[in-house]
Structure 1
Amino acid sequence: MCECYSSIVKIPKPYSIPAQALNSNDLTSSSLIEPVDQPQSNPSFPITATLPVYRPMAVTQTGNTVFVTVSIPAESSITLPEQALQIKKVSKDLKITQCRFFNAIPAIVAGKPADTPKLFLGGFVRKDIQYANVTKLSASTVEGQIKDFVVDIPILGVIDLGNHLNVPSVLFDDQQVYQYLKTLPLPCGFAGKDRLMAGDMSEFNVMSNKFMNKLPACELIYSQINEMDDAVDRIPLHGGPFEEGIFTTLQEKMVIVIQVSLTFEPVVDPCHH
């Protein structure tokens, strides 16, 4: 079940001044400013402010392994490179590119509810569409060729895993500061037997603890894709059989069932090893 939707934020492309222009006295020409090449962004992960949250169909745990099953709906509009007479075959493959576990953090204030573990899941569905175009026609016949078109449909969401899992807790780094006592004589105005006893301000002592938390290993176990494709711009095929038509745009709806496993390493108490 989707509880929220994402909003896309566009980032302007940065610019730079070429090195040879920096040695010139004329920096007023707009031709000196060139866009900086950036790595191609991952089409499965647009820059977003919020992500949709899904309630899993099932979450089960066996030992150190958690099995998560979720249903993710998706909708897209696909434009074919040319007018098609008919869709002959559609092959689909699910590609998972992100499976990141976020453990719950204990409540900061006693008595307040704590958050639940989350699973960031993303990737894309690769669709291989085979369609027939039209090369020759008559009042009773249509002749064409079989063409192939591949498109990637991105999916992205966060799965709320609830609060009943028994998984290793997050270990937090900390620092502890300590001091040594320093005794010094006091200046005039104090009794002769009195001494100044305080921490030594000429030194700073600290003990740091760092724990290397490990993420669980994620594996794709099973996927199921149920889809409906509708031609939204179909028009009659002029000059051909009366029931035939051509189109270029498909409106696609998919329900994608995904099962992944999260395997955690056995917990080792660092205080006893």
Structure 2
Amino acid sequence: MDNINNNGIDKKVCDACEAKVIDSKTLPECSNESCEPIGKSGPLVAKIPVVIAEPKIQIDVKAEIKLDEPAFEIKRIKKNLFLTQCKLLSVWDDKHEKCKQGKLFIGGFVRKNIEYATVDSKCADKGCISGDIRHTTCNIPFECVTLVDFINPPEIRKSGATSEVEVFTAKFNACDPCSEGIIGSDPCQQNFNHFEAFTEKVFCELEFAKIIEADIHKNPKPLVYSNPNEHIFEILEEKMVIYVKLKLLQNQQIKIPSCKD
């Protein structure tokens, strides 16, 4: 009885437990003082991000996932969406000489962590089923192209073509030193003009993502013939409807008037 403590627990079991509270403190509240932001008043010219468009996109995805072990049931699925591509190509309207729409190429993946219950073959009879909890994490890729309408059209600067500048000369005599001078373009010199303009890149921000899904057990097999309602499966078919809201931005030079204007 010397190995039993006051709570009726074996002292050897208590000594083997490494979990404990290392430290705990109650922190007092710190004081603060609100400060008024300091900024430059107008009129002024600033370069700031301007909202080009705010599309809400629907993406339909179908995927099949093979689990590492036969599953008895899905306990939980945790999902996170990530974008790996967000590229805008503006559609130029030659008639009105401006952009009203653009093609948006997006791509990414849904990271899915699937927790599922397995079945121990020794514990699958006599009315009770036991097993371990396992997990499988997969990245489900997706990509699509959508046409977006611009709230504010992006600023696009076009580069010019390379042009050659002819240099005049009146002193070129060709091969005959006694002939009169040839007046015209100087063949000994070539000048070129090249104009290259740069456009600010349109970048994306992910506002939110919403995923609606259905998980279908593929090719289920009965667990025990005495209870046909219970089954196991290895392949999970998923149908997902993904809603993604994006904000397309471009740095533009904006004139900000004064408060009196």
Query: Could you say whether these structures have the same fold, taking a TM-score greater than 0.5 normalized by the shorter chain as the test?
Result: yes
Give a deviation string over 1:125-152, Cα, whole Å, max 9, x none. Answer: 0001010000111131111111111010
CA distance, structure 1, for counterparts of residue 158 and residue 56 of structure 2? 28
Separation of aligned partners in 1, 2:194 and 2:93: 21
Q: Would you say 1:264 and 2:245 are equivalent positions?
A: no
Q: Deviations over 1:94-115 (max 9, x none)?
A: 01111122223455xx79xx99
Describe the SS at the equivalent of 1:260.
strand
Q: Equivalent residue for 1:100?
A: 87
Question: What is the deviation of 1:223?
Answer: 0.5
Give 1:134's aligned residue. Answer: 119
Q: How does 1:194-213 map to 2 (within 5 A)?
A: 196-213=182-199
Q: Which amino acid aligns with 1:182?
A: T
Task: Give secondary structure in 2 for the equivalent of 1:237.
Answer: strand
1:161-180 maps to which residues of 2 (within 5 A)? 161-162=148-149, 166-180=153-167
Secondary structure at the residue paired with 1:123? strand
Question: Structure 1 CA distance, aligned partners of 2:239 and 2:164?
Answer: 59
Q: Does 1:119 pair with 2:104? A: yes
- More strand as a share of residues: 2
Give the drift of 1:212.
2.3
Aligned to 2:240: 254
Query: Bigger radius of gyration, 1 or 2?
Result: 2
Distance 1:166 1:105 in 2: 10
Q: RCO higher in 1 or 2 (8 Å CA, sep ≥ 6)? A: 2
- Out of 221, 228, 237, the residue aligned to residue 214 of structure 2 is 228
- What aligned pairs does 1:1-273 form with structure 2 within 5 A after superposition? 63-105=50-92, 107=94, 116-135=101-120, 136-162=123-149, 166-184=153-171, 196-238=182-224, 241-267=227-253
Inter-CA distance 263–115: structure 2 relative to 1 (3 Å threshold) = closer
Q: 157-166 vs 94-103, which deviates more?
A: 157-166
Q: CA deviation at 1:241?
A: 2.9
- Give the Cα–Cα distance (whole angstroms) in 2 for the partners of residues 76 and 138 of structure 1: 33
Q: TM-score, normalised by structure 2?
A: 0.68
**In the aligned structure 1, how far is the partner of 2:134 from the partner of 2:150?**
50
SS at match of 2:197: coil
Which residue identity lines up with residue 255 of structure 1 in the other structure? Answer: V
| 8 Å Cα contact 1:138/1:241 also seen in 2 | no
Q: Secondary structure at the match of 1:142?
A: coil
Judged with a 3 Å threshold, the aligned counterparts in structure 2 of structure 1 residues 163 and 94 are, in CA distance, closer, same or farther, namely closer
Task: Give the match for residue 51 of structure 1.
Answer: none
Taking the aligned partners of 1:226 and 1:185, their CA distance within structure 2 comes to 80
RMSD: 2.9
Structure 1 residue ranges, 4+ long, deviating more than 6 angstroms after superposition = none
Structure 2 gaps of 5+ residues are 1-48, 255-261
SS in 2 for 1:138: coil
* In structure 1, C-alpha distance between the alignment counterparts of 2:156 and 2:60, rounded to whole Å: 32
Give the TM-score normalised by structure 1: 0.65
